[in-house]
Structure 1
């Protein structure tokens, strides 16, 4: 499976913007936010968006105390960190000692960078483990494989559970049939795009039993999206 697909990655740069890196990762299926700013801007975005990987570009030794403090916070317990900077031992050791999961010289090839990102995502807290909870409307617990909508528990197959969980992590985002097929098949291409509509129909029927069928919308000509009740959609929106 391509571990980039569906992963939330935050790229932080205090220097030159990392827009090109962000675009390449997005094209590989990741959800990416590129933050060009100050160190103090990182924590609020982590709290709001819950990335599984933080990539720090232009690493300097002076950033070590900040990273060490950041990773001591509960919200960063499952956060993997990749630091990119100068090709020397002092920079590498300062990042690793501060808690970075890995350090690479910023001159590495694209293939090496992607391989390292893939390894960190594979070993990290992937989106499948992220709970969605906004009582009394929606609760999705991956650990117990349980779902409640409007206070009523519904039972889904593993495939449909994965589908609804993924949509709930990205409310109001429209996904194409191709993107949904990849989610349903767990990246293994077992689901054809022309069967996505049938899977959506099945999921909507289960949701209707809990009075939530209208949350799963068909966006004609584009795909499908999950629209939560307006007063909670802002709280759970992750991308």
Structure 2
């Protein structure tokens, strides 16, 4: 289930968009201003942001520029929502880094079509790119994990877990965040499930001396580190 962050200060519009997106099968988080939006981005990176141009305080335009200049959010799909219909404004929005631009008022059908189009454009590169970290290589296309030619056998959940950790390295992820991003609909899954799969992942990685890359951060969650040489030497 794709998570969408809706950044909109008009609560009635935010509510209407949220209801329609949830009905279409998306998970929705709402932020009323730039500060709230940044907090949500820091907590869990969404698959896409619907960003209103006019926000209290920092504008959506400035926020889009800020996200494009940061390594973690430079590939974040952004659709700008605005009441401004001028071509110059549209160009400004796209120049700031928006992937698409929607002028209010818009139909739910058009909004969903634009969201799906942007997600389709972004998904192939994100899902199929080979990820390498600390000598460990993960290929989503062939679903293979290896280190220096030695293959690591992983179950589907461990594979998804490792893929997420490798694409978000050096960051601490809580168990609930991992449930969100790896399991998706986790209403009936206990947080302890994460510990079980992390244990299995470590056991599998141990065969290629990479188990210690998956670190437990006491009271916070888990982190994948690439400082393997330093760990091995210590």
TM-score range, shorter chain: 0.5 to 0.7
CA distance in 1, matches of 2:36, 2:113: 18
**Alpha carbons of structure 1 residues 125 and 173: separation in structure 2 relative to 1, 3 Å:** same
Gaps of 5+ in 1: 6-16, 56-81, 233-239
Equivalent residue, structure 2, for 1:196: 194
Of 137, 140, 154, which residue of structure 1 is paired with 2:152? 154
**Alpha carbons of structure 1 residues 96 and 214: separation in structure 2 relative to 1, 3 Å:** closer
Please tell me whether the aligned partners of residues 135 and 147 of structure 2 are also in contact (alpha carbons under 8 angstroms): yes
TM-score, normalised to structure 1's length? 0.59
Structure 1 segment 32-47 matched on structure 2, within 5 A: 36=62, 45=69
Gaps of 5+ in 2: 6-32, 50-59
Of 111, 119, 140, which residue of structure 2 is paired with 1:122? 119
| Superposition RMSD in Å | 4.4
Equivalent residue, structure 2, for 1:174: 172
Which one has more relative contact order, counting CA pairs under 8 Å at least 6 apart?
A: 1
- Figure out how many residues of one structure are paired with residues of the other and give that number: 189
TM-score, normalised to structure 2's length? 0.60
Which secondary structure does the structure 2 equivalent of 1:53 belong to?
Answer: coil
Q: CA deviation at 1:217?
A: 1.2
CA distance in 2, matches of 1:121, 1:189: 28
Of 208, 212, 227, which residue of structure 1 is paired with 2:225? 227
**Alpha carbons of structure 1 residues 175 and 38: separation in structure 2 relative to 1, 3 Å:** closer
CA distance in 2, matches of 1:91, 1:116: 24
**Alpha carbons of structure 1 residues 189 and 162: separation in structure 2 relative to 1, 3 Å:** farther
Structure 1 segment 63-142 matched on structure 2, within 5 A: 82-91=79-88, 94=91, 101-105=99-103, 119=116, 122-126=119-123, 127-134=126-133, 137-142=135-140
Equivalent residue, structure 2, for 1:214: 212
